[in-house]
Amino acid sequence: MQSSLQELDSLLAKQEPEAEAAALRLMQQLKERGVVRGFGGAQQVPKRQYTLEELRLNDIEAERLLSPTDNTLSSIRTALQVAAAAGLAALYFGLHWETQQLVSALVATLFVFSVDQVANSGGLEALALDAAGRVLSRSYAQRVAAHEAGHFLLAYLVGLLPKSYTLSSLDALRRYGALNVQAGTLFCDSAFQREVAAGTLSSASLDRYTCVALAGVATEYVSYGQAEGGLNDVQQLDGMLRALQFSQKKADSEIRWAVLNLVTLLRRHKRVHARLADAMAAGRSVGECIGIVEAELAGAAEV
């Protein structure tokens, strides 16, 4: 299997539609030959309407999962703002600045911030916060790795092949040369994009997308009891369901099923997820990560 996964890495690195299609064919061949068992092999919960009470009976508090509040970065943002204010005050009093100099410094700071918001969608601020988070919070980097490992693992289990991942804004800047890209996982989803463009989105594709979109917040909920990151994922999913003209009842039904499905899979594969998060934190390739997932699943009774 190792040589096949190395071939997979080579195909994914090409970033071409033909290479993506070849990577998907390779994975399908490996699955048909029984070399891999996890890709698209998840034993998912039955698809039906679930109530909030049923989620509670399964020890799931949906509001702690679907309403991410990034307390860690919010606290760090406040600390940085206080530090910046203290720094300006120190310069003003310590170096005996004139009031005009202080005002000029404030205007320059606000100008840089405004340009960043307009030109980079706040990318420079996100980069600074992400870097500070890794210095000031011992658990921040672990949480990000756990979040992205959740996206990777659950996508793989429901049949969507991961293409690449980044675990920090700096890593994204180095890889993509863009400030407005943060930690995240990309997938081989050309077929899904074609369905969306053609207006022919199947229920199976929608179920898969919903699960992948909510995988990060579900992972944080299972691991930490409260989701912090992933607000953008939830908002994008909500926007898509609105675009599909889902009624509130139909959207709630889709989301509740996905939440129960994801939490069930994560609880079942807690060890697999932990190993994968460690591998991603160490910068292992997609193929190597898949090898680790498959090695863990080989000893499990069910996927």
pLDDT tens across the length of the chain (303 residues): 889 999 999 999 987 889 999 999 999 999 999 999 999 999 999 999 999 999 999 999 999 999 998 877 777 777 777 777 777 677 667 777 777 776 676 667 666 666 556 555 666 667 777 777 777 787 889 999 999 999 999 999 999 999 999 998 888 777 776 666 678 999 999 999 899 888 888 999 999 999 999 999 999 999 999 999 899 999 999 999 999 999 999 999 999 999 999 999 999 999 999 999 999 999 999 999 999 999 999 876 556
Q: Which residues are paired to 282 by β-bridges?
A: none
Please give the pLDDT value at position 99: 73
Residue 168: per-residue pLDDT: 87
pLDDT number for residue 301: 54
- pTM for this structure? 0.86
Q: What is the pLDDT of residue 249?
A: 94
